[in-house]
Amino acid sequence: MLRRTWAVTQKEFIQLWRFPLVLVGLIVGPGLELILLAVAIHTNVQNIPMVVADQSLSAASQDYLNAFTDSGDFDIVATVPDQASVARAIDSGQASIGIVIPQDFATQVEQKDANVLMLVDGSDSFVAQSAYNSAAAISQQYAIGLTDQPLSPLNADIQILYNPNLETLWFIVPGFGAFLLWGIALKLTAFSVVREREMGTIEALLVTPLRPIELMVAKMIPNLALAVFDLALTFSVGMLIFGVPFRGSILLFAALASLFAAGSLGLGLAISSVSQSQVEANQLASLMNIAVIFISGFLFPLSALPLLLRLLGYAMPMTFFLQIVNGIITKGVGLNDLWTPVLSLTAVTLAIFALGALAFRQRLD
């Protein structure tokens, strides 16, 4: 009995070693998930990018701005001349909060009646809440330090743009729609090549007149159509049933969503090409989805992540597509304000598509 049991046990060990990617995923996956959870999850967002229109250029205004940078919660990424420039910087995603300091700020401080304007990007729930609370607290602390009295001599007019009431669904639906498109496109193509291999039909495809690139495109087109349809359905439900606004160009969004889906399909095809079985493909796709959740800005802003994870996030199409989704849907901006994430998405998509094509060709060879 023991000999028979041990023989089957040996067979199972051998079978497990035949799928190294599954083994690595099972061993490394839980540890990787824990690391991502520990590093990425922050209830208090730090290093929030801030743009400043300091029209006072005085010692008082500099002291006020130093209170923000010294806190570690904000990083001044640009200085602009006026309120309109601040709004444009937030529209383009360059900054998440903007401060407009009036020209007579120093005089107002001396008179104990100073006013500043703060504009907060309301398209991201974590950033909006954290920036609002931190900015209000820093302004209050700075003002109290001027007089050593609990009564504040500084009035900070904080305005939340795009989502002034901080409606939760306005945050959830755009990001969820983007993640849904990513997940569907990745999973659909992650099984395409390896499924043909397991079923024994890959040889039948190889003897057809189709070239490898034509076969690759043919496999991607149905999946692309299905993924885009699901995305349209998701946003239609969000707008018609839950009242989520769609402020930008539908045609522009459709074009960029198709570009993003192509990159996701290319990555799925690369996963399918390097996998030995559908189990391996599913394991790799699941690990990729977990990584995207935490390091693409889907749940938590990139500014809260360590440099290494931020760099990994910039290698994913999802990172730039989320900026595009928030820009078009929530903010209603156009291509002029989105050219940076659009170019980045294009470059990453082309790189992933080339990687997928190379892996696909090697698998066929």
Question: Which residue, among 354, 331, 312, has the nearest Cα to 35 in the 3D structure?
Answer: 312
Q: Give the C-alpha separation, 126 to 294, whole Å.
A: 13
- Residue recorded with tokens 């079985």: 277
Task: Quote the DSSP letter at residue 307.
Answer: H
Q: Give the C-alpha separation, 308 to 313, whole Å.
A: 9
**Model pLDDT for residues 272-302, shown as the tens digit of each residue:** 777 777 777 777 888 788 788 878 887 777 7
Query: Which DSSP string do the residues of 162-181 spell out, in sequence order?
Result: S-TT--HHHHHHHHHHHHHH
Three-state secondary structure call for residue 247: coil
Report the length, in residues, of the chain.
365
- Residue recorded with tokens 């500014």: 303
Tell me the whole-structure pTM to 2 decimals.
0.76
**Model pLDDT for residues 243-271, shown as the tens digit of each residue:** 888 888 989 998 998 889 888 888 887 88
Tell me how many degrees the CA angle 123-127-129 measures, rounded to the nearest 5. Answer: 95
Say yes or no to pLDDT of 38 above 50: no
Three-state secondary structure call for residue 103: coil
Say yes or no to pLDDT of 48 above 50: yes
- Convert 113-145 to b/e letters by CB count within 10 Å (16 or more is b): ebebbbbbbbbbbbbbbbbbebbeebbeebbee
**Model pLDDT for residues 295-352, shown as the tens digit of each residue:** 888 777 777 777 787 888 888 889 999 999 989 998 888 888 899 999 999 999 888 8
How confident is the model over 66-78, as a mean pLDDT? 86
pLDDT at 74: 87
**Model pLDDT for residues 191-234, shown as the tens digit of each residue:** 776 776 767 666 666 666 666 666 667 767 777 777 777 778 87
* Fold observed for domain 48-161: abc type-2 transporter like fold (3.40.1710)
Q: Give the C-alpha separation, 62 to 52, whole Å.
A: 11
The domain limits of the chain are 48-161, 168-364
Locate 257 and state its tokens.
């969503």
- Residue recorded with tokens 């003897």: 207
CA distances from 100 to 54, 79, 131, 197, 242 (A): 6, 10, 15, 61, 34
Q: Are 115 and 101 in contact (CB under 8 A)?
A: no
Say yes or no to pLDDT of 18 above 90: no
Q: Give the C-alpha separation, 102 to 57, whole Å.
A: 9
pLDDT at 142: 76
